[in-house]
């Protein structure tokens, strides 16, 4: 087997969109019964995907808004971002846009591995404020992957992190291809 690949990922989003619930489901196979605001947690797990083994470090952040200042530790040394919003909260979708703008301001307009996640898609239809096509369209405008999930579903929660690894690899390959270009 190839050497273990280390990946550091940051989860960002408006408060109470389910960032911690998604992380808890993936890392511990559990869904929290009660809401407890997160200050910041880092989760670690060895994850096998295909023939590759990954050591994932995932920073589960406190909720952000459009005025949040992202610390340098969320910008440098990060392999990818999971930006989460609640399909039942249009404000959280607006904040996802703002978070992306902040990332672009801090990192520049380079290709960034991002998975945009619409969480809480298990809620009744009448609770929905953000349509799946709106999330998909936003992700496409960023050049990002998009998923709608419920943190109650272990398989969909796992898919977020699988998709994140795929996005990191896709972006890294595109940088490798650029390096192979012939400059005249």
pLDDT in tens, 124-145: 999 999 999 999 999 999 999 9
Which runs of E-coded beta strand occur in 62-149? 80-86, 114-119, 145-148
Q: What confidence tens digit (pLDDT) does each residue in 142-169 have?
A: 999 999 999 999 999 999 999 999 999 9
Residue 151 burial (10 A CB sphere; 0-12, 13-18, 19+): buried
What does the pLDDT read at residue 184? 34
CA dist., res. 139 & res. 161, Å (int): 16
Q: Which helix (H) or strand (E) holds 162?
A: helix 154-179
Q: Is the pLDDT of residue 85 over 80?
A: yes
Per residue in 107-120, pLDDT tens? 887 889 999 999 99
Q: Which fold has domain 5-179?
A: Rossmann fold (3.40.50)
Domain ranges of the chain: 5-179
Residue 39, token pair as written in the block: 């200050």
């Amino acid at each position: 087997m190839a050497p273990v690949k280390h990946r550091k990922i940051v989860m960002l989003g408006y408060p109470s969109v389910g960032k911690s619930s998604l992380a808890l489901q993936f890392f511990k196979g559990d869904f929290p019964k009660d809401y407890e605001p997160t200050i910041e947690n880092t989760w670690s797990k060895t994850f096998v995907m295909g023939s590759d083994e990954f050591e994932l470090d995932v920073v589960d952040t406190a909720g952000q808004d459009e005025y949040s200042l992202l610390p340098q530790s969320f910008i440098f040394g990060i392999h990818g971002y999971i930006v989460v919003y609640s399909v039942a909260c249009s404000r959280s979708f607006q904040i996802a846009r703002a978070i992306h703008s902040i990332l672009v301001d801090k990192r520049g307009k380079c290709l960034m591995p991002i998975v945009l996640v619409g969480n809480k898609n298990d809620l009744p239809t009448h609770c929905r404020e953000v349509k799946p096509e709106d999330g998909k369209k936003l992700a496409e405008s960023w050049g990002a992957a998009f998923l709608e999930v419920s943190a109650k579903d272990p398989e969909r929660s796992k898919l977020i992190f699988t998709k994140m690894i795929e996005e990191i690899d896709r972006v890294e390959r595109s940088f490798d291809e650029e390096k192979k270009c012939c400059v005249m």
